[in-house]
């Protein structure tokens, strides 16, 4: 394709056009500053591609999501979280032998160092589990240093994938004052997590298949989502060649915010408020439309999707099915469906192309599973881990990677003269 032309300050600059495998186009501005002295300005990065990536493809206008070329709907129906993790990180669906080997490694690395239990003891019971999670992940670097990227990285990737679910479960047990339950090697990855969350040492606990399937689906749907806020944070922190654990810990912190992964907790709290306020959902729709109210319909809208988030579609169906299988009749599901129905017909939401996102229905399923609200974002982090690792590895393995270092347009004061403090 012909280069794009840019006219600036009386000169013409050629910008090569980069085409992706799904035919999306980008203008390569990598030489722009060197040639013209100007930079581009794109607050919030809505028009900026920060990398080329072969991991995840999203078409936000059409509501399409693919991992490594496979549609999310197909993976959700036919695959499982461990296989999807392998696919994202290593780039292909594993052979039977590769999958068995990967699964065994995730099983046999799931214990955490006994000394790490002392860290859990140091946190107050009221600590938000996302804070605990990020601190514990960063602390893994003290036990498993990666002195050499080439030799240590593969093992540390396995360790992190295997141990995160143990850390997740231990932080939950800590928050409710119950004894930690150790991983069980005979259980699947997801069943083991459920066992560590809900079993107690005093009696046997059999993991309900319906819970295992529902949680596995949630983890698959959260596994990657190209260059979102937390993934970009992972690439940004990782570009300094910080170790894997420090890098992922940075991503966990970015995910925590209510505009990103923290939205699932906010959605549930919003639905609960609406219920307690007499289930008058129209009042909340009106508030969301009133900019002065500062209220947003949590779980609605997305930077990239200007159509249904395909994950929300899958989760809406899963919420209906899962709740009836679990025998749960949750009034919040009805409120959520009513909000969605009314919002999708309202011109404010239609004009702005605001649709439910992945967080809108995920919380209702977590709640039906008895996972407490403040653990929702932690479950999201566990699901997103293979995506973060895949994106980090892609960046580190690319010989062309440079440290991420955006520029800025300075708008502050100029030519200030220093005045000694006694004269100010
Ligand atoms: N409720 C009401 N109005 C909204 C909402 C919402 N949930 N989301 C966006 N809008 C409005 C904005 O006020 C804006 O209106 P305007 O054009 O009249 O000024 C317009 O829609 C565009 O929204 P922006 O905020 O500019 O979109 P942006 O891409 O910057 O933000 C975001 C996307 C953060 C997801 C936003 O839609 C939002 O805050 N949603 C609620 C939080 C949420 O659900 N986050 C989870 C996202 S998914 C994830 O991270 C897993």
Q: Is the dihedral of CA 283, 284, 288, 294 positive or negative?
A: positive
Enter the tokens of residue 43: 């607050």
Enter the tokens of residue 396: 């580190």
Q: Whose CA is nearest to atom 26 of ligand 1?
A: 303
pTM over 0.85: yes
Mean pLDDT of 139-160: 88
pLDDT on residue 416: 97
Enter the tokens of residue 219: 């983890």
Length of the chain: 424
Helix H, strand E, coil C: the string for 312-342 is HHHHHHHHHHHHHHHCCCCHHHHHHHHHHHH
pLDDT on residue 156: 94
Residue with token string 């409120």: 335
Q: In this prediction, what percent of the chain has a pLDDT beyond 70?
A: 100
Task: Mark whether 302 is an active-site residue.
Answer: yes
Q: What is the tens place of the pLDDT at every residue in 69-79? A: 999 999 999 99
Selecting among 66, 195, 225, 302, the annotated active-site residue is: 302
Ligand 1 mean position to 154 CA, how many Å? 38
Residue with token string 């979102």: 228
pLDDT on residue 408: 97
Residue 248 near ligand 1, beta carbon < 6 Å: no
- pLDDT band, very low/low/confident/very high, at 308 (cuts 50, 70, 90): confident
Task: Mark whether 115 is an active-site residue.
Answer: no
Mutation test of ligand 1: which of 274, 301, 356 has the most ligand atoms closer than 8 Å to its C-beta? 301
pLDDT on residue 77: 96
pLDDT on residue 120: 92
Residue with token string 């900026």: 48
pLDDT on residue 173: 94
Distance from CA of residue 144 to its chain's centroid?
24
Q: Whose CA is nearest to atom 44 of ligand 1?
A: 299
Examine the pLDDT at 205 and tell me if it is beyond 80. yes
Ligand 1 mean position to 51 CA, how many Å? 24
Q: Whose CA is nearest to atom 35 of ligand 1?
A: 302
Q: Whose CA is nearest to atom 20 of ligand 1?
A: 352
């Amino acid at each position: 394709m012909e280069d794009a032309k840019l006219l600036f300050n009386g000169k013409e600059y050629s910008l090569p056009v980069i085409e992706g495998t799904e035919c999306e186009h980008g203008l390569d501005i990598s030489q722009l500053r060197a040639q013209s002295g100007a930079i581009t300005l794109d607050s919030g990065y809505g028009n900026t591609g920060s990398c080329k990536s072969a991991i995840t493809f999203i078409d936000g206008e059409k509501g399409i999501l693919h991992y490594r070329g496979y549609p999310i709907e197909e993976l959700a129906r036919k695959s499982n979280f461990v296989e999807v993790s392998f696919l994202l990180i290593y780039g292909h669906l594993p052979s039977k032998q590769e999958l068995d080997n990967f699964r065994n490694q995730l099983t046999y690395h799931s214990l955490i160092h006994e000394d790490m239990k002392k860290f859990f003891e140091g946190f107050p019971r009221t600590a938000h589990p996302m804070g605990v999670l990020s601190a514990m992940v960063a602390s893994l670097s003290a036990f498993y240093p990666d002195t050499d990227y080439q030799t240590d990285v593969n093992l540390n990737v396995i360790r992190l994938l295997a141990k995160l679910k143990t850390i997740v479960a231990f932080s939950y047990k800590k928050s409710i004052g119950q004894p930690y339950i150790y991983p069980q090697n005979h259980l699947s990855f997801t069943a083991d997590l459920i066992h560590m969350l809900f079993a107690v040492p005093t009696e046997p606990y059999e993991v309900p298949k319906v819970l295992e399937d529902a949680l596995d689906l949630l983890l698959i749907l959260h596994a990657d989502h190209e260059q979102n806020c937390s993934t970009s944070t992972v690439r940004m922190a990782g570009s300094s060649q910080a170790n894997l654990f420090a890098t992922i810990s940075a991503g966990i912190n970015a995910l925590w915010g209510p505009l990103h992964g923290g939205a699932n907790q906010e959605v549930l709290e919003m639905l609960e408020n609406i219920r307690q306020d007499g289930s008058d959902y129209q009042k909340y729709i009106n508030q969301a439309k009133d900019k002065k109210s500062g209220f947003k319909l949590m779980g609605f809208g997305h930077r990239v999707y200007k159509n249904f988030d395909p994950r929300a579609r899958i989760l809406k169906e899963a919420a209906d099915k899962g709740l009836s299988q679990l025998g749960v009749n949750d009034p919040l599901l009805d409120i959520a469906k009513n909000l969605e129905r009314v919002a999708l017909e309202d011109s404010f939401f239609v004009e702005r192309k605001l649709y439910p996102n992945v967080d809108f229905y995920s919380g209702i399923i977590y709640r039906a599973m008895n996972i407490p609200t403040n653990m929702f974002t932690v479950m999201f982090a566990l699901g997103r881990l293979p995506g973060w690792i895949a994106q980090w590895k892609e960046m580190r393995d690319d010989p062309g990677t440079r440290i991420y270092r955006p520029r800025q347009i300075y708008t502050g004061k100029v030519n200030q003269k220093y005045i000694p403090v006694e004269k100010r």
